[in-house]
Amino acid sequence: LPVLFKEELKNEEAQEGASVTLSCELTKGAPVQWKIGPKVLKASDKYQMRQSGTTAELAIRDLEVKDA
């Protein structure tokens, strides 16, 4: 069976310079690739990815307009 979203991403609002954490839940464990448009995000001081079982999280620090 394909992996589906059990709980999809929710829109979050935050001020420039702040931090935000996005999360989603899958129907079964699978690797998650985070993107902004076509650009695949890589772990760094700005982007931190975490995955535990079927839940995946992306934390973005020092928000900028381009992170929308």
* CA separation for the pair 66, 36 (Å, rounded): 9
Among 40, 28, 15, which Cα is nearest to 58's?
A: 40
Q: In a 3-state reduction of DSSP, which class is residue 6?
A: strand
Domain-wise residue ranges, the chain: 5-67
**Digit-coded pLDDT (tens) for 2-61:** 899 898 888 888 999 999 999 999 999 999 999 988 999 999 999 999 999 999 999 999
* CA separation for the pair 26, 24 (Å, rounded): 7
What's the confidence (pLDDT) of residue 19? 95
Of 3.40.920.10, 1.50.10.10, 3.40.50.620, 2.60.40.10, which CATH number belongs to 5-67? Answer: 2.60.40.10
What's the confidence (pLDDT) of residue 46? 95
Whether 67 shows a pLDDT value over 90: the answer reads no
What's the confidence (pLDDT) of residue 11? 85
What's the confidence (pLDDT) of residue 1? 82
